[in-house]
Structure 1
Amino acid sequence: MSSAQPDAPRPPARRRSPGRPDRRAARREQVLDTAARMFFERGYEATTTTEIGAELGLLKGSVYYYISSKEDLLYEIVEQYHRDTREYFDRIEASDAPPLDKLRELIATETAHTATNLTRSSLFYTEWRSLSEERQRTIVAERTRHEDAVLRWIREAQATGAVRADLDAKVATYAIFGMVNSAYRWFRPEGRLSADEIGREFCELILGGLETR
């Protein structure tokens, strides 16, 4: 007869309380926020993962518990920004609004979003070339998607007579994004106008030059 004792009953696995944040996820978000700020202040190339870890009070190498590489950090920061823009872009694109109204909403929303998220928008527009070619292609594809939609909306509005027919639609598209994307360079939250007000001002300036009078 075996003398082995029956296994002692195991205590039930602890469940995370509903609404209780995942500590690792929260800490990882801290890593991303700190990396974004340091990349913004010092530049991506001039910032090391060791310095990011030190800023967070992590031992040397501990930062790799949360990320695989410095490039992964940059890519996730940029991709987070992409996900945010994709959310409002998809909503505008899927709406039944006339092309000019879609254009108006995109200009206002994207300008305000760029100005409100200065750190990440700056990295999105200035540091993306530090990514691998494959990841760069992902960024470019998303930008092209936005540009193609704006080009299409302008041409559709020209076909209905809402936008001047003498304008080159492609040049107008590049001008719009050049203007909207510039907000990260000069906008200051403490300035006279809010991000939303800047978005509305841009709408007036851009559409004032496009619309048929």
Structure 2
Amino acid sequence: MKEELTRQSIQLFERKGFNSTSVQDIVDSLGVTKGTFYYYFTSKETLLMDIHLSYIDDLLSRQQKVLNSNASCGKQLAEIVEMLINDIQTQGSNVRVYFREMRHLSEENSRVIKDKRRLFHLTIEQIIKEGIEKKEFRENLKPKMTTFAILGVTNWSYEWFDPSGNISPKELATMYMDFILHGIDIGGMNDECE
């Protein structure tokens, strides 16, 4: 029942937003009582925190598996980008709630999620630093800014990317990686753009 409550809540939060969804809406959609809801969650925010923790902990676990693969830095980065884009297909509603509704967490809960997000971010930054040291990536890259750019491009995709459209998640991830690793200029930055 906890999984059903969570699944239905994610659908409602995605469609109506966290603030516009009441506990009554959630239990009515499943035909259960409020007592059932409060047996599993002490509040609607506790449920939202559970949704956030579940997603970010799973993301960190999958990121760690990529790191443990001992693949090249470029391959690790590509796998992480593909993982993020693939989540839009496999966990679309969850991804949207994760990014859109964090602002409704208390300061204490928000800090916990932000710390975990920062760990995910810092791991990507470390991959880029290591790639520079191993001469896989350009030495003039700024790892922190490059990480922000990668996450900005991939994380925002949930707003517009339709996995059932003409481009698959794998194709979009490949396009992103080509852009990230090679840019769009034939010979690198030219004088006119500097």
Once residues 105 and 113 of structure 2 are traced to their aligned partners in structure 1, the CA distance between those partners, rounded to angstroms, is: 10
**What amino acid maps onto 2:43 in structure 1?**
S
The answer on 1:83 being equivalent to 2:94 is no
Q: Distance in 2 between matches of 1:176 and 1:115?
A: 19
1:139 aligns with 2:93: no
1:129 aligned residue:
103
Match of 2:85 among 111, 116, 124: 111
TM-score, structure 2 normalization: 0.87
Does 2:61 correspond to 1:100?
A: no
CA RMSD of aligned residues (A): 2.0
CA drift of 1:81 comes to 1.1
The aligned counterpart of 2:33 is 59
How far the C-alpha of 1:61 sits from its partner, in A, is: 4.2
CA distance in 2, matches of 1:82, 1:185: 19
Aligned-residue sequence identity (percent) comes to: 29
Tell me what 1:8 maps to: none
* Higher helix fraction (1 or 2): 2
Between 1:80-89 and 1:45-54, the stretch displaced more is: 80-89
Match of 2:163 among 189, 204, 211: 189
Q: TM-score when scaled to structure 1?
A: 0.80
More displaced stretch, 169-178 vs 62-71: 62-71
3-state DSSP of counterpart to 2:133: helix
Distance of 1:66 and 1:42 partners within structure 2:
22
Cα distance in 1 between the residues matched to 2:103 and 2:65: 28
Equivalent residue for 1:154, pick from 122, 128, 141:
128
Deviations 1:26-76 (A, max 9, x none): x22111111111011111011110111111112354422332210111111
Amino acid at match of 2:20: A
Question: How far apart in 2 are the matches of 1:189 and 1:92?
Answer: 23
Separation in structure 1 between the aligned mates of residue 120 and residue 16 of structure 2, nearest angstrom = 30
1:66-96: CA deviation from partner (whole Å, max 9, x where unpaired): 3221011111111221232122111112232
In the alignment, is residue 50 of structure 1 matched against residue 46 of structure 2?
Answer: no
Tell me how far apart the structure 2 counterparts of residues 100 and 135 of structure 1 sit (CA, whole Å): 34
Report if aligned partners of 1:50, 1:61 keep a CA contact under 8 Å in 2: no
Q: Which runs of 5+ in 2 are unaligned?
A: 189-194
Q: Is the 8 A contact 1:104 1:207 kept in 2?
A: no
After TM superposition, what 4+ stretches of structure 1 lie above 6 angstroms from structure 2?
none
Q: Which runs of 5+ in 1 are unaligned?
A: 1-26
* SS state at 1:182 partner: helix
Give the aligned residue type for 2:88.
Answer: T
Aligned residue identity for 2:144 = K
